[in-house]
Amino acid sequence: MTLVLALVLVPLLAGLVLLCLRADLPRRLVVVAVTGAVCVGCVALACLPALNLGELPVSRHAVNLGMMAVEAVMGLYILYVGVRARHFLIVALMLAQAGLMGWFEWTAGPEASPAPALFVDKFSIVMALINGIVGGGICLYAVGYMREYHTEAHRDVPDRRPMFFALLFVFMGAMFGLVFADELPWLFFFWEVTTLCSFLLIGYTQTPEARKNALLALVMNLSGGLAFALAIVWFYHNTHQLGLQALIHSGHAAALLPAALLCFAGITKAAQCPFSSWLLGAMVAPTPVSALLHSSTMVKAGVYLVLRLAPVVTGTSVGLMVALVGGVTFLIGSLAAITTPEAKRVLAHSTIANLGLVVLCGGIGTYEAVWAGVLLIIFHAVAKCLLFLCVGVVEHKLHSRNIEDMSGLIVYMPHVAVMMLIGMAGMSLAPFGMLISKWAVLRAVVDAYPMLSVFIVFGSAATLFFWVKWMGKLVEVVAPRQRVIKEISLDESVALYGLSVVTFLACLFFPLFSKLFIEPYVAGVYGHTGSLGQGNMLIMVIMMAVVMLFPLSFLSRGRGVKVVDPYLGGANIQGSPGFTGSGGASETVTLHNYYMGGVLNEAWLSRVAVAGGALMLAAMLVFAFI
């Protein structure tokens, strides 16, 4: 119990300390110390043979009162934001949510049969490791990034780093509370803390675009919060239970409607159709915010809840609608990523798409699907975080997010380029983890709903297309360019090299990780488990050992990248990135990716996603009621 509480409270307290620190050196020392402590705590938690949490060391009633007070303050602040922005939908959603929870506390709270406040199993530990290690890496990276952000790249943005780092650690602490909480009101409290933190971080720069996108994120996540509050009230007044585990094991008759409402909340926070626009809008925030939201906290909270509820919705019409939302989101998100040359937008669409696969697994709800869904969460977290942080470095050096401007990055920023290639390979190529996970998802889908496999097949084809053309840009060299002397700062290098190693090790040792964490969780829920088979796993481990030669070929001591002239039918102009044209004129070599502008349109895809997602969610709630 002490270790679990420390993982929740230490980041929250660190946030309060960082709010008071304006000097760079003390801030850096606190960030390093707390990040190190959190990582050690997560690993220690994972190594414990069994956990018996027991009772809280403080009065539970006092904790509940404290949470109610914090919720009241957050609610009043959100009302103030809504009134000031004249965004009355925010006001209406906040009042409805506060009214529901206030009525619940007034009528049922004092007599409620409390669930265990905290609950830790193998799935909780997996999520804690992601939050601590990946989230901690983002915090370390942010120290150097935000210093350069304000002193070089964005001098016009007010320097509010004390608030920024405070919010990062409060976010981390709230995520720990969310994955360890079993009592639904406690889970709801941490859920709403993440909503408020995301709003404040997205609006960090205070530009009109940042404010607009932050309000969009707030209103969409408040709609999910309202569904969460409805689920708590309905479930308690029909069962007199308040625990998440009690809901999961209470049977379909009592749990299906609140499970559908909680899936709705998870879908909003995971930015699935029709709510994906808030996550795309979050790209206006500094890169550490994008990485945090996409890899270790905000969106992972949504898919975590959907996967938790998989045993309740499996085999039902509600589960089928959840799976359809995930499948449609995966396909449309993957297609949309083809249409844009902006790096962070490609990563955002890719995140939305891959989270759709996890939601698809939760909707199917079989043991194979849940096993694949947890595996997807792990691989996506480490690889996507690495990519976001690398893009942040490149943006500072090139002053551009455009993929076309990254041509030849392997020559003038070789270390960052290799790390980006590792992240992209981890997202798309055999034998890296995301491809393994997609294969497992496809097998689960074929066993449960074969028609849904069309989303995975076509979505995966689109995924491979946009990753490979980006990888090609990084290694494409048309003209010589001067190498960047200092690619990354010390704080950034620790985070980036660490995440590169974690990405590789996660792929290399995933059979062991599955055996220690994922399979015991699935076996505990379903009574049996599934995996890829020992033969397939051995082949993938051997392939990973071969793939290890890839980064070494670029970064080995004393060797550089060999650049040769492209083959141009013998028309090359010696010593120049050009060729002799048919009329004898000198022409410059230019290479450009296809973005399928005449075939695909991001705005049209967005409209289809909103309409289709809204229709399926409406059907899900109807099926849950009848």
- Which among 8, 222, 186 is positioned nearest to 109, based on CA atoms? 186
**Farthest-apart Cα atoms in the chain, separation:** 90
CB atoms inside a 10 Å sphere around CB 454: 12
In a domain, 442, yes or no: no
Instruction: Tell me which residue range forms the domain holding 90.
Output: 1-50+62-305
Q: Are 363 and 316 in contact (CB under 8 A)?
A: no
pLDDT in tens, 486-535: 667 777 888 888 888 888 787 777 778 888 888 889 888 887 765 555 55
Cα dist. 416→61, 428, 484, 487, 591 in Å?
A: 51, 19, 11, 7, 22
- The pLDDT assigned to 557 comes to 46
Torsion of CA 447, 449, 454, 458, to 10 degrees: -70
Whole-number Å distance between alpha carbons of 306 and 364:
11
- Which among 152, 175, 164, 246 is positioned nearest to 202, based on CA atoms? 164
Q: Are 46 and 125 in contact (CB under 8 A)?
A: yes
Whole-number Å distance between alpha carbons of 547 and 430:
9
- Which among 429, 546, 563, 427 is positioned nearest to 483, based on CA atoms? 563
In a domain, 135, yes or no: yes
Element containing residue 474 per DSSP (H, E): helix 453-475
Q: Output the CA torsion sign for 500, 501, 507, 511.
A: negative
Angle (CA) 140-144-145 rounded to 5° is 100
In a domain, 573, yes or no: no
pLDDT in tens, 422-445: 888 877 765 555 667 777 788 888
Element containing residue 40 per DSSP (H, E): helix 24-47
- The pLDDT assigned to 65 comes to 85
- Which among 80, 84, 83, 61 is positioned nearest to 72, based on CA atoms? 80
What parts of the chain have a pLDDT lower than 70?
A: 50-55, 109-115, 252, 429-435, 479-487, 529-570, 574-577
Q: Are 386 and 494 in contact (CB under 8 A)?
A: no
Whole-number Å distance between alpha carbons of 258 and 247:
8
Name the percent of the chain lying above pLDDT 70: 87
Examine residue 288 and say whether the peptide bond preceding it is cis (omega within 30 degrees of 0): no
Name, in order, each residue with C-beta under 8 angstroms of 325's C-beta and a sequence gap of 6 or more. 267, 272, 273, 356, 359, 363, 613, 616, 617, 620
Beta bridge partners of 316: none
Tally the C-alpha atoms within 13 A of residue 363's C-alpha that lie toward its C-beta: 27
Angle between helices 519-526 and 122-129 (to 10 degrees): 150
In a domain, 555, yes or no: no
- The pLDDT assigned to 413 comes to 84
In a domain, 362, yes or no: no
Q: Any idea which residue has 């975590």 for tokens?
A: 304
- The pLDDT assigned to 223 comes to 95
497 φ/ψ angles, rounded to the nearest 5 degrees: -65, -40
Q: Any idea which residue has 């309060």 for tokens?
A: 16
Whole-number Å distance between alpha carbons of 228 and 526:
25
CB atoms inside a 10 Å sphere around CB 25: 8
Whole-number Å distance between alpha carbons of 289 and 89:
25
The token pair at 29 is 């020392």
Q: Are 387 and 467 in contact (CB under 8 A)?
A: no
In a domain, 152, yes or no: yes
Domain count, the chain: 1
Whole-number Å distance between alpha carbons of 392 and 259:
38
Torsion of CA 461, 463, 465, 466, to 10 degrees: 160
56 burial (CB, 10 Å; 0-12 / 13-18 / 19+) is: middle
- The pLDDT assigned to 558 comes to 44
Whole-number Å distance between alpha carbons of 99 and 171:
25
In a domain, 410, yes or no: no
Instruction: State pTM to two decimals.
Output: 0.91
In a domain, 206, yes or no: yes
